[in-house]
Amino acid sequence: MYYLILVLPAMLFAMWANAKVNSTYREYSKVTTYSRMTGYEAARRILDANGLRNVAIEHVRGELTDHYDPRTNVLRLSDGVYYSDSVAAIGVAAHESGHAVQYRQDYLPVKIRTAILPVCNFGSQAAWPIMMVGLVLGSMNLFRFGILLFSMIAVFQFVTLPVEFNASDRAMAALESSGAFTESELDGAQNMLWAAGMTYVAALAVSLANVMRLLLISNRRNR
């Protein structure tokens, strides 16, 4: 019952968000920009304009596997972004470049996310085994400790939201100020980034729903 009331709606939202970002990406991957600027060129322009000439841009295989790696100071763009001159490619490349700028400017949510990452990773790996042991031993204190560890996933996703939306805001500002794109192209990039942002909102919703479900289970067993 808890699953149907709490988790299922969040899961349906997540399924919709994933379908939306994929369909939006495919739609705007077919729309070529008037400037014919590639994802690589857009990223390079944004990075250089922000004093990040030392950030390398590499090609990585896959679809939507684009990311900025702060450990190696490398921006990696996927097959459909690196060489493509589509609206989708420009939006994705600009977004990932925004992450690189965040690290350069010591954007506070990025620093917080980096700081809590080890704890959140441990929580995500240890939570379920600890909760299972708690149930087997009949120890609700151990079960609740597992819930606490599991909730760290939601904390990480909550901190991730401003990081992702801020990167998109930076991306749109950079694309608009470049003067290289038409209004319809900017609208397409905005739609692409909005759809991507919804996947992070959906992930947080699923985690929060699961935390609430586990707390209700704990309260019921404690009666």
For residue 152, give the amino acid letter. M
pLDDT in tens, the chain (223 residues): 655 677 889 999 999 999 999 999 999 999 999 999 999 999 999 999 999 999 999 999 988 899 999 999 999 999 899 999 999 999 999 999 999 999 999 999 999 999 999 999 999 999 999 999 998 888 889 999 999 999 999 999 999 999 999 999 999 999 999 899 999 999 999 999 999 999 999 999 999 999 998 988 888 766 5
The pLDDT tens digits for 93-150 are: 999 999 999 999 999 999 999 999 999 999 999 999 999 999 888 888 999 999 999 9
Please tell me which residue in 27, 41, 58, 96 is annotated as part of the active site.
96
**Measured on CA atoms in the order 5, 11, 14, 19, is the torsion positive or negative?**
negative
pLDDT of residue 151: 95
Question: What is the DSSP annotation of the chain?
Answer: -HIIIIIHHHHHHHHHHHHHHHHHHHHHHT-B-TT---HHHHHHHHHHHTT-TT-EEEE--SSS--EEETTTTEEEE-HHHHS--BHHHHHHHHHHHHHHHHHHTT-HHHHHHHHHHHHHHHHHHHHHHHHHHHHHHT-HHHHHHHHHHHHHHHHHHHHHHHHHHHHHHHHHHHHHHHT-S-HHHHHHHHHHHHHHHHHHHHHHHHHHHHHHHHHHHHHHHT-
pLDDT of residue 184: 95
- Look up the pTM and report it: 0.90
Check if 96 is active-site. yes
For residue 63, give the amino acid letter. E
